[in-house]
């Protein structure tokens, strides 16, 4: 006999009271509230304001905090909503107005009107957010479809990658490119900025790289052509860093291009080396030259490529994870398979962040020579 399971009713059908009670019983409610307040603090207050608050006393700091918060909120609204919110706040602070005639005194509770005005502004902002969320969800699905679906299986190599956007969509590029002769191209790029704009430019970089890499006569020529196209078609003050490498099955030869990217760590039997950037970022300046480099990896050696979302991850005390911490961790994982190295690094970053929300896209590519 077939078993039937009941499906919980949609939130709208359960009723507001039931939904609120469920929210109050959520095990991570306190954590979510603390995260939301931390997000408000970072989003609405600049680093200079936060530094000033840290130097103030508690009582004085509370007043300045709320003053700066409201001012920043008002400046981010459209003119009409800014006027509406200011009017609502004035009415709420007024509370009530008394109008005396010859015989009676009429008390008008304008604070209620202020609350209603505040709700209208909130509803308008929520409407915009929900409409934008639908569009961003479509963009997220497109971006997910562009990501590698599986880690390559290449003789003599263990390969693993991971990318996690800070928002719904991100500006980090992780990609594998099958090449002639069984060779494999591996890319990790980082577009300046975050969100939808960075994601769109990342998609352009990925498409351009996929089109040019298979026929490029050298990685130097590839870097120059990528830069030329991004300078021509890119946006002002937008650029991308890229670490691109090519490997062959069975051998340990590695040739690579580092266009302004964070120097990956090469974990060798002798220690940990940096593969320093020898070329400028892509899309920043025209007529730049790009250098191809090469290394030979021995069995048991590992290459750790990462985006700055890892090393610049901030915990609740606003401490950075840092390149030195990553280097020390990488040194302890010599000889491990790529997937174990990646899992360990993500575990360490997660423990470091604690309840803090990631502020930048985080990506990793690990290659271990077997």
Mean pLDDT of 19-34: 81
Q: Domain span at residue 177? A: 148-369
Residue-wise pLDDT tens digits, 156-180 = 999 999 998 887 778 889 999 999 9
Q: How many domains does the chain have?
A: 2
Mean pLDDT of 203-227: 94
Non-local CB neighbours of 346 within 8 Å, separated by 6+ positions: 162, 364
Same domain assignment for residues 232 and 122 = no
Residue-wise pLDDT tens digits, 64-118 = 988 999 899 899 999 999 999 999 988 888 887 766 666 676 677 888 888 999 9
pLDDT of residue 201: 86
Same domain assignment for residues 53 and 119 = yes
Q: Is residue 194's pLDDT more than 80?
A: no
pLDDT of residue 190: 93
CATH number at residue 359: 3.60.40.10
Residue-wise pLDDT tens digits, 38-62 = 888 888 888 889 888 888 888 888 8
Asked whether 359 and 42 are in contact (CB, 8 A), the reply is: yes
Same domain assignment for residues 294 and 256 = yes
1 confidence band (pLDDT: 50, 70, 90): very low
Q: Is residue 8 part of a domain?
A: no
Same domain assignment for residues 110 and 181 = no
Same domain assignment for residues 33 and 152 = no
Same domain assignment for residues 183 and 318 = yes
Same domain assignment for residues 204 and 119 = no
Same domain assignment for residues 41 and 159 = no
Give me the DSSP letters along 138-185: HHHHHHHHHS-SS----TTEEEEEEEE-SSSS--EEEEEEE-GGG-EE
Same domain assignment for residues 202 and 284 = yes
Q: Is residue 5 part of a domain?
A: no
Same domain assignment for residues 244 and 354 = yes
pLDDT of residue 364: 95
Q: Is residue 3 part of a domain?
A: no
**Helices within 15-78 (DSSP H only):** 16-24, 29-44, 47-55, 58-76
Question: Which range among 188-192, 197-201, 214-218 shows the weakest confidence by mean pLDDT?
Answer: 197-201
More confident residue, 202 or 170: 202
Same domain assignment for residues 104 and 155 = no
pLDDT of residue 19: 83
Q: Is residue 78 part of a domain?
A: yes
Q: How would you classify the pairing of strands 362-369 and 302-306?
A: antiparallel
Residue-wise pLDDT tens digits, 273-302 = 998 877 999 998 999 999 999 999 999 999
Q: Is residue 139 part of a domain?
A: no
- The residue from 73, 99, 128 where one domain ends is 128
Q: Is residue 312 part of a domain?
A: yes
């Amino acid at each position: 006999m077939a078993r039937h399971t009941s499906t919980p009713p949609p939130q709208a059908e359960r009723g507001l009271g039931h939904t609120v009670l469920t929210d109050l019983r959520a095990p991570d409610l306190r954590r979510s509230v603390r995260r939301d307040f931390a997000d408000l603090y970072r989003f609405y207050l600049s680093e200079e304001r936060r530094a000033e608050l840290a130097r103030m006393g508690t009582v004085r700091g509370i007043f300045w905090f709320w003053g700066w918060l409201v001012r920043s909120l008002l400046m981010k609204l459209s003119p009409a909503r800014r006027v509406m919110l200011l009017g609502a706040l004035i009415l709420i602070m007024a509370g009530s107005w008394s109008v005396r005639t010859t015989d009676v005194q009429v008390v008008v509770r304008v604070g209620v009107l202020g609350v209603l005005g505040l709700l209208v502004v909130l509803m308008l902002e929520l409407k915009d957010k929900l409409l934008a969320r639908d569009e961003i969800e479509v963009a997220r699905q497109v971006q997910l479809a562009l990501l590698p679906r599986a880690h390559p299986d290449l003789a003599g190599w263990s390969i693993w990658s991971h990318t996690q956007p800070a928002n719904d969509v991100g500006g980090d590029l992780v990609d594998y490119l099958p090449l002639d002769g069984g060779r494999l191209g591996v890319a990790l790029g980082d577009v300046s900025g975050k969100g939808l704009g960075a994601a769109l430019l990342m998609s352009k970089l990925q498409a351009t790289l996929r089109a040019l890499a298979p026929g490029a006569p050298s990685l130097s020529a590839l870097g120059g052509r990528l830069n030329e196209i991004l300078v021509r078609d890119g946006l002002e003050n937008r650029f991308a860093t890229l670490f691109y490498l090519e490997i062959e099955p069975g051998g340990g030869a590695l040739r690579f291009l580092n266009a302004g990217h964070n120097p990956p760590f090469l974990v060798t039997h002798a220690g940990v080396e940096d593969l320093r950037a020898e070329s400028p970022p892509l899309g920043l300046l025209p007529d730049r030259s790009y250098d191809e480099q090469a290394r030979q990896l021995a069995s048991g050696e590992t290459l750790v490529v990462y985006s700055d979302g890892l090393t610049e991850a901030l915990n609740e005390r606003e401490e950075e994870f840092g390149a030195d911490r990553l280097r020390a961790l990488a040194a302890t994982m010599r000889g491990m398979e790529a997937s174990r190295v990646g899992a360990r690094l993500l575990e360490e970053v997660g423990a470091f962040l604690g309840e803090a929300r990631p502020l930048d896209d985080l990506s990793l590519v690990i290659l271990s020579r077997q």
